[in-house]
A and B are shown apart, each in its own frame.
Chain A
Amino acid sequence: MELSNEPTFDAPIPGQSLTGEVGSKPWEQPPKLNTVDEVISSYIPMFQDEEFVTELVNQMEAGIPIIPIVDILIKSNVMDGEHSLDVGLLAAPVIIELLINVAEASDIEYDVGNKTKGTTKPSMSAIALALKDINIPDEEEDTEDTMVTEVEEPPMEQSMGLMAKRGEEYGV
Protein backbone atom coordinates (compact mmCIF):
# COMPACT_ATOMS: atom_id res chain seq x y z
CA MET A 1 0.00 0.00 0.00
CA GLU A 2 1.39 3.36 -0.96
CA LEU A 3 0.93 6.20 1.46
CA SER A 4 0.52 9.64 -0.01
CA ASN A 5 1.91 12.70 1.68
CA GLU A 6 -1.04 14.80 0.63
CA PRO A 7 -3.48 15.74 3.39
CA THR A 8 -6.77 13.89 3.32
CA PHE A 9 -9.94 15.84 3.84
CA ASP A 10 -12.14 12.79 4.41
CA ALA A 11 -11.26 12.64 8.12
CA PRO A 12 -13.88 13.76 10.62
CA ILE A 13 -13.70 17.33 11.88
CA PRO A 14 -12.65 17.54 15.57
CA GLY A 15 -15.82 17.54 17.65
CA GLN A 16 -17.92 16.09 14.83
CA SER A 17 -18.96 13.16 17.05
CA LEU A 18 -20.65 15.61 19.39
CA THR A 19 -22.83 17.08 16.67
CA GLY A 20 -25.00 13.94 16.32
CA GLU A 21 -28.08 13.30 18.37
CA VAL A 22 -27.40 11.57 21.69
CA GLY A 23 -28.15 7.85 21.40
CA SER A 24 -27.97 7.79 17.61
CA LYS A 25 -24.77 5.69 17.61
CA PRO A 26 -24.78 1.99 18.64
CA TRP A 27 -22.16 2.53 21.36
CA GLU A 28 -24.35 5.18 22.95
CA GLN A 29 -27.11 2.62 23.49
CA PRO A 30 -27.17 0.17 26.44
CA PRO A 31 -25.08 -2.90 25.52
CA LYS A 32 -26.91 -6.02 24.34
CA LEU A 33 -24.71 -8.39 26.37
CA ASN A 34 -24.08 -7.60 30.00
CA THR A 35 -22.22 -10.51 31.58
CA VAL A 36 -18.90 -12.16 30.79
CA ASP A 37 -20.66 -15.47 30.10
CA GLU A 38 -22.91 -13.86 27.51
CA VAL A 39 -19.97 -12.13 25.86
CA ILE A 40 -17.89 -15.30 25.68
CA SER A 41 -20.78 -17.29 24.28
CA SER A 42 -21.24 -14.61 21.61
CA TYR A 43 -17.57 -14.93 20.54
CA ILE A 44 -17.43 -18.73 20.39
CA PRO A 45 -19.63 -19.09 17.25
CA MET A 46 -17.21 -16.76 15.40
CA PHE A 47 -14.57 -19.48 15.63
CA GLN A 48 -16.85 -21.88 13.79
CA ASP A 49 -16.98 -19.60 10.76
CA GLU A 50 -14.43 -20.96 8.28
CA GLU A 51 -13.84 -17.66 6.51
CA PHE A 52 -13.21 -15.84 9.78
CA VAL A 53 -10.82 -18.53 11.04
CA THR A 54 -8.87 -18.51 7.75
CA GLU A 55 -8.45 -14.76 8.01
CA LEU A 56 -7.30 -15.07 11.62
CA VAL A 57 -4.79 -17.78 10.75
CA ASN A 58 -3.41 -15.66 7.91
CA GLN A 59 -2.91 -12.73 10.25
CA MET A 60 -1.22 -14.81 12.92
CA GLU A 61 0.99 -16.46 10.31
CA ALA A 62 2.01 -13.01 9.06
CA GLY A 63 3.46 -12.33 12.52
CA ILE A 64 0.71 -10.19 14.03
CA PRO A 65 0.53 -10.92 17.78
CA ILE A 66 -2.71 -12.30 19.19
CA ILE A 67 -3.37 -9.53 21.73
CA PRO A 68 -3.73 -6.69 19.15
CA ILE A 69 -6.12 -8.93 17.17
CA VAL A 70 -8.22 -9.49 20.30
CA ASP A 71 -8.08 -5.77 21.02
CA ILE A 72 -9.52 -4.98 17.59
CA LEU A 73 -12.20 -7.68 17.96
CA ILE A 74 -13.34 -6.29 21.30
CA LYS A 75 -13.31 -2.67 20.19
CA SER A 76 -15.29 -3.43 17.03
CA ASN A 77 -17.95 -5.19 19.08
CA VAL A 78 -18.05 -2.28 21.53
CA MET A 79 -18.56 0.03 18.54
CA ASP A 80 -21.43 -2.15 17.36
CA GLY A 81 -23.02 -1.84 20.80
CA GLU A 82 -22.74 -5.57 21.51
CA HIS A 83 -21.09 -5.19 24.92
CA SER A 84 -19.34 -2.61 27.04
CA LEU A 85 -15.58 -2.12 27.05
CA ASP A 86 -15.04 -3.39 30.60
CA VAL A 87 -16.92 -6.65 30.05
CA GLY A 88 -14.97 -7.08 26.81
CA LEU A 89 -11.74 -6.59 28.73
CA LEU A 90 -12.77 -9.27 31.25
CA ALA A 91 -13.51 -11.70 28.43
CA ALA A 92 -10.21 -10.95 26.63
CA PRO A 93 -8.12 -13.78 28.22
CA VAL A 94 -10.67 -16.35 27.10
CA ILE A 95 -10.63 -15.01 23.53
CA ILE A 96 -6.82 -15.08 23.59
CA GLU A 97 -6.91 -18.74 24.63
CA LEU A 98 -9.40 -19.51 21.86
CA LEU A 99 -7.08 -17.87 19.33
CA ILE A 100 -4.12 -19.87 20.65
CA ASN A 101 -6.24 -22.99 20.16
CA VAL A 102 -6.93 -21.99 16.56
CA ALA A 103 -3.23 -21.33 15.93
CA GLU A 104 -2.13 -24.64 17.41
CA ALA A 105 -4.84 -26.56 15.57
CA SER A 106 -3.62 -25.13 12.26
CA ASP A 107 0.07 -25.77 13.09
CA ILE A 108 1.35 -22.25 12.71
CA GLU A 109 3.86 -20.22 14.68
CA TYR A 110 2.15 -17.57 16.74
CA ASP A 111 3.02 -14.78 19.12
CA VAL A 112 0.72 -13.96 22.02
CA GLY A 113 2.33 -10.55 22.42
CA ASN A 114 2.34 -10.49 26.23
CA LYS A 115 6.09 -10.71 26.74
CA THR A 116 8.80 -8.19 26.00
CA LYS A 117 11.08 -9.75 23.47
CA GLY A 118 14.67 -10.32 24.48
CA THR A 119 15.53 -12.25 21.35
CA THR A 120 17.38 -10.70 18.44
CA LYS A 121 15.14 -12.33 15.85
CA PRO A 122 12.84 -9.67 14.39
CA SER A 123 9.21 -10.43 13.67
CA MET A 124 7.81 -10.64 10.13
CA SER A 125 5.94 -7.37 10.56
CA ALA A 126 9.16 -5.61 11.67
CA ILE A 127 10.96 -6.95 8.59
CA ALA A 128 8.14 -5.74 6.34
CA LEU A 129 8.32 -2.27 7.91
CA ALA A 130 12.10 -2.13 7.53
CA LEU A 131 11.83 -3.10 3.86
CA LYS A 132 9.28 -0.39 3.35
CA ASP A 133 11.62 2.16 4.94
CA ILE A 134 14.45 1.09 2.64
CA ASN A 135 12.31 1.73 -0.44
CA ILE A 136 11.30 5.25 0.58
CA PRO A 137 14.69 7.05 0.09
CA ASP A 138 14.94 5.88 -3.54
CA GLU A 139 11.60 7.40 -4.34
CA GLU A 140 12.50 10.58 -2.51
CA GLU A 141 15.79 10.89 -4.40
CA ASP A 142 13.97 10.47 -7.70
CA THR A 143 11.47 13.13 -6.82
CA GLU A 144 14.25 15.46 -5.70
CA ASP A 145 16.03 15.05 -9.04
CA THR A 146 12.91 15.83 -10.98
CA MET A 147 12.27 18.81 -8.74
CA VAL A 148 15.78 20.14 -9.45
CA THR A 149 15.38 19.79 -13.19
CA GLU A 150 11.92 21.28 -13.22
CA VAL A 151 12.70 24.41 -11.20
CA GLU A 152 13.99 27.20 -13.36
CA GLU A 153 14.59 30.74 -12.41
CA PRO A 154 11.97 33.02 -13.87
CA PRO A 155 13.37 35.74 -16.11
CA MET A 156 13.61 39.14 -14.50
CA GLU A 157 11.08 41.40 -15.99
CA GLN A 158 11.49 45.07 -15.67
CA SER A 159 8.37 46.45 -14.15
CA MET A 160 6.87 49.27 -16.05
CA GLY A 161 3.93 51.47 -15.33
CA LEU A 162 2.47 53.56 -12.57
CA MET A 163 2.73 50.92 -9.77
CA ALA A 164 6.44 50.22 -10.32
CA LYS A 165 8.87 51.03 -7.54
CA ARG A 166 10.74 54.24 -7.89
CA GLY A 167 14.09 53.83 -9.45
CA GLU A 168 13.22 50.34 -10.76
CA GLU A 169 11.75 51.84 -13.85
CA TYR A 170 15.04 53.39 -14.70
CA GLY A 171 17.13 50.41 -13.61
CA VAL A 172 18.55 52.16 -10.50
Chain B
Amino acid sequence: MSKHIIKMYNKLDADINKAPSTKSMKSSGLIPQRKEPDEESNIVHYVKQIRKMRESNNGTK
Protein backbone atom coordinates (compact mmCIF):
# COMPACT_ATOMS: atom_id res chain seq x y z
CA MET B 1 0.00 0.00 0.00
CA SER B 2 3.01 2.29 0.50
CA LYS B 3 3.28 2.58 -3.29
CA HIS B 4 -0.26 3.90 -3.52
CA ILE B 5 0.37 6.36 -0.69
CA ILE B 6 3.54 7.62 -2.40
CA LYS B 7 1.71 8.00 -5.72
CA MET B 8 -1.15 9.87 -4.10
CA TYR B 9 1.10 12.11 -2.01
CA ASN B 10 3.27 13.03 -5.02
CA LYS B 11 0.20 13.81 -7.13
CA LEU B 12 -1.27 15.97 -4.40
CA ASP B 13 2.05 17.70 -3.85
CA ALA B 14 2.30 18.45 -7.57
CA ASP B 15 -1.27 19.77 -7.61
CA ILE B 16 -0.59 22.11 -4.71
CA ASN B 17 2.73 23.36 -6.08
CA LYS B 18 1.27 23.87 -9.55
CA ALA B 19 0.41 27.44 -10.44
CA PRO B 20 -3.32 28.05 -10.07
CA SER B 21 -4.99 27.76 -13.47
CA THR B 22 -7.93 29.81 -14.65
CA LYS B 23 -11.11 28.09 -13.57
CA SER B 24 -13.39 29.58 -16.21
CA MET B 25 -13.82 26.38 -18.18
CA LYS B 26 -17.25 26.55 -19.72
CA SER B 27 -18.81 23.41 -21.06
CA SER B 28 -19.68 23.88 -24.68
CA GLY B 29 -21.76 20.73 -25.14
CA LEU B 30 -24.59 18.92 -23.49
CA ILE B 31 -22.24 17.04 -21.19
CA PRO B 32 -21.25 19.27 -18.28
CA GLN B 33 -17.64 19.61 -17.19
CA ARG B 34 -16.73 17.00 -14.66
CA LYS B 35 -16.08 18.42 -11.23
CA GLU B 36 -13.29 17.27 -8.92
CA PRO B 37 -14.56 14.97 -6.20
CA ASP B 38 -15.29 16.73 -2.92
CA GLU B 39 -13.17 14.31 -0.88
CA GLU B 40 -10.03 15.16 -2.84
CA SER B 41 -10.57 18.90 -2.68
CA ASN B 42 -11.07 18.51 1.07
CA ILE B 43 -7.71 16.80 1.35
CA VAL B 44 -5.99 19.54 -0.66
CA HIS B 45 -7.56 22.08 1.68
CA TYR B 46 -6.37 20.20 4.78
CA VAL B 47 -2.84 19.79 3.43
CA LYS B 48 -2.66 23.48 2.49
CA GLN B 49 -3.82 24.48 5.98
CA ILE B 50 -1.27 22.22 7.69
CA ARG B 51 1.54 23.54 5.49
CA LYS B 52 0.51 27.11 6.23
CA MET B 53 0.56 26.31 9.94
CA ARG B 54 4.03 24.80 9.61
CA GLU B 55 5.35 27.78 7.69
CA SER B 56 4.03 30.17 10.31
CA ASN B 57 5.62 28.03 13.04
CA ASN B 58 8.94 28.04 11.21
CA GLY B 59 8.67 31.78 10.74
CA THR B 60 8.27 32.39 14.46
CA LYS B 61 11.36 30.29 15.31
Contacts and interface: CB of A to CB of B under 8 A. Distances in A.
A36 interface: yes
B39 interface: yes
Given A71-B1, A75-B1, A94-B43, A114 B57 contact: no
A3 B37 CA distance: 48
A92 B5 contact: yes
Interface string B18-43: 00000000000000000000011011
A104 B6 CA distance: 20
A90 interface: yes
Interface stretch (A24-32, A95-103, A150-158, A164-172): A95-103
Contact of A37 (B8, B40, B42): B42
Chain A contact patch, size range = 20 to 34
Contacts of B6: 67, 113-114
A91 B54 contact: no
A154 B53 CA distance: 77
Nearest to B46: A94
A63 to B, nearest CB: 16
Looking at B5, B50, B51, the one whose CB has the most chain A CB atoms below 10 A away is: B5
A66 B9 CA distance: 12
Contacts of A68: 2
Nearest to B1: A71
B58 interface: yes
Contact of A100 (B2, B8, B43, B54): B54
A101 B6 CA distance: 18
A74 B2 CA distance: 11
Given A67-B2, A75-B1, A96-B9, A91 B43 contact: yes
A40 interface: yes
A92 B8 contact: yes
Given A75-B1, A93-B47, A104-B58, 4 more contacts: A74-B1, A89-B8, A96-B5, A97-B46
Q: Which 4 A-B pairs have the closest CB atoms?
A: A97-B50, A92-B5, A94-B46, A114-B6
